[in-house]
């Protein structure tokens, strides 16, 4: 009989112990806290955190993938994501149309390495339909910028022109550097008729003027590679749900370009750089554009 009793005790299953509930309904540890022990705040488990951890995952019907959330296009006034707020991507074009230089790229090169807390990344863009967009979108994927500011040359203009809108039309008066000359063709087949810049155009113009630089808001980026690039970049950002804000600035001819040309307006490269730097700083700090008269009569 004693041996049987011992056998029964040996195979006896342990009694389940129910967890004791604390004041917040959480299971309390049986270990005693030592007096004076300091617990780092990041190790504390709050009732809210535990509640989130216990929340059951949403069931997905068999054979169906969870629906992807639609990402809205970036809008003016939407603060950039914390991890993507350290870079401004600035682009400039290579020379085209028989010119030996392009001040959009020369000004880009002269910008400081940091503006308003943003690291400046530069990309030289081929003056070619199609390839221009690819060069910028690849740089966007690589750097994940908060702002994208594309620069281009508009010979004949007297001011730095911050473009308001890009249209879905390629209509080239001259061939690009690869010999392509599209006429009345869409930038993106089936794309929207136009995109507005998501940078604060008027605030950037005001900042340029405050820095002593002639500047204006422009309502036409043309129909050449500059408009092509502006439209393509804005379409890429909107379609992909990227949070970067983007726009385009046209620069006049530089003084070096018009030394042997009469009657062609020009601007010193140093003045361009000062204006572009002021514009980027304004775009960084301004989430909603200012209301400032800037329309044209023609």
Catalytic residue (one of 106, 226, 228, 235):
226
Q: Give the residue among 75, 139, 73 at the shortest CA–CA distance from 287.
A: 75
Is 108 annotated in the active site? no
Tell me phi and psi for residue 109, to 5 degrees.
-65, -30
Per DSSP, what are the bridge partners of residue 249? 151, 162
The whole-angstrom separation of Cα 30 and Cα 137 is: 58
Q: How far is the CA of 206 from the CAs of 96, 160, 211, 213, in angstroms?
A: 30, 12, 9, 10
Contact criterion met (CB below 8 Å) for 80 and 245: yes
163 tagged catalytic: yes
| Annotation marks residue 250 as catalytic | yes
Q: In this structure, are residues 274 and 212 in contact, taking their beta carbons and an 8 Å threshold?
A: yes
Q: Of the listed 128, 163, 216, 277, which one is catalytic? A: 163
b/e 212-249 (16+ beta carbons within 10 angstroms → b):
ebbbbbbeebbbbbbbbbbbbbbbbbbeeebbbbbbbb
Question: Which of the residues are catalytic?
Answer: 163, 226, 250
């Amino acid at each position: 009989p004693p041996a049987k009793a011992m056998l029964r005790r040996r195979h006896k299953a342990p009694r389940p112990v129910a967890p004791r509930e604390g004041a917040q309904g959480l299971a309390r540890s049986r270990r005693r806290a030592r007096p004076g022990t300091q617990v780092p705040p990041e190790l504390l488990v709050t009732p809210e955190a535990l509640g989130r951890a216990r929340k059951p995952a949403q069931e997905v019907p068999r054979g169906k993938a969870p629906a992807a959330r639609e990402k809205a296009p970036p809008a003016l006034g939407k603060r950039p994501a914390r991890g993507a707020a350290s870079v401004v991507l600035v682009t400039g074009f290579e020379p085209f149309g028989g010119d030996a230089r392009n001040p959009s790229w020369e000004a880009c090169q002269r910008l400081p390495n940091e503006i308003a807390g943003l690291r400046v990344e530069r990309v030289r863009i081929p003056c070619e339909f199609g390839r221009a967009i690819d060069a910028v979108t690849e740089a966007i994927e690589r750097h994940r910028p908060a702002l994208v500011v594309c620069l281009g040359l508009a010979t004949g203009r007297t001011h730095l022109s911050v473009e308001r809108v890009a249209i879905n039309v390629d209509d080239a008066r001259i061939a690009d550097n690869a010999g392509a000359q599209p006429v009345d063709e869409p930038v993106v087949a089936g794309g929207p008729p136009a995109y507005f810049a998501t940078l604060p155009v008027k605030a950037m113009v005001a900042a340029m003027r405050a820095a002593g630089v002639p500047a204006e808001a422009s309502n036409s980026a043309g129909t050449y590679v500059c408009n092509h690039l502006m439209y393509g970049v804005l379409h890429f950002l909107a379609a992909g749900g990227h949070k970067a804000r983007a726009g385009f600035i046209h620069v006049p001819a530089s003084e070096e370009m018009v030394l042997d040309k009469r009657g062609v307006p020009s601007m010193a490269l140093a003045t361009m750089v000062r204006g572009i730097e002021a514009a980027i700083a304004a775009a960084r700090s301004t989430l909603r554009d200012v209301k400032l008269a800037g329309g044209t009569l023609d």
